[in-house]
Amino acid sequence: LPWTIDINIDRSGHTSGYAFQNLNREVFLRSYVQIVTESYMEGLPGDLFLTEKICKALANLQPFICFGMARTNSRLVELGFEPVNIVDGAYDDELDVGRRLTRLYHALDQLAGMSIEAVHEAYHAALPRTAHNQQRLFDRPEVLGEEVASRLRAMLPG
């Protein structure tokens, strides 16, 4: 897509508009699931490096499949988010990055093998959890940053 996500950071290092300035909600309204590739795939067990990539999915009621640090999904649950698994999320528990990637490919094969009707049903069944996660994200300014949370809230309808 010709979609600009990031903006240049000024000389002071200020990033107030980073990644959210040009967010087009239509991308989320025309899709059921996001495949998120996080910035870091390796770290100590229990580490969580949460970026705008996951936050955009959470803010837009979007289930996601994340390739990031091991146990990202478990850490999100520890932070009060509810799991939303359209496919088997066991790949995320693998500590070895190579094996985790292989298991992720299997999860993506599972998604590719689902009918559009099954994905549609899974998406709608997950709405109570994705709504909870959206609210949890906005209630946790230490996770997201209040300025970014305000911008995301302003973009949502109603």
Q: What residue type is assigned to position 50 of the chain?
A: L
Question: pTM for the complete prediction?
Answer: 0.73
Across all residues in the chain, what is the average pLDDT? Answer: 79
Alpha helices per DSSP H over the chain? 26-29, 52-59, 72-78, 97-112, 116-138, 141-144, 146-155
User: Taking the C-alpha atoms of 146, 148, 149 and 155 in order, what is their torsion angle to the nearest 10 degrees?
Assistant: 150
The pLDDT of residue 2 is 42
pLDDT tens for 87-137 read 999 999 999 999 999 999 999 999 999 999 999 999 999 999 999 999 998
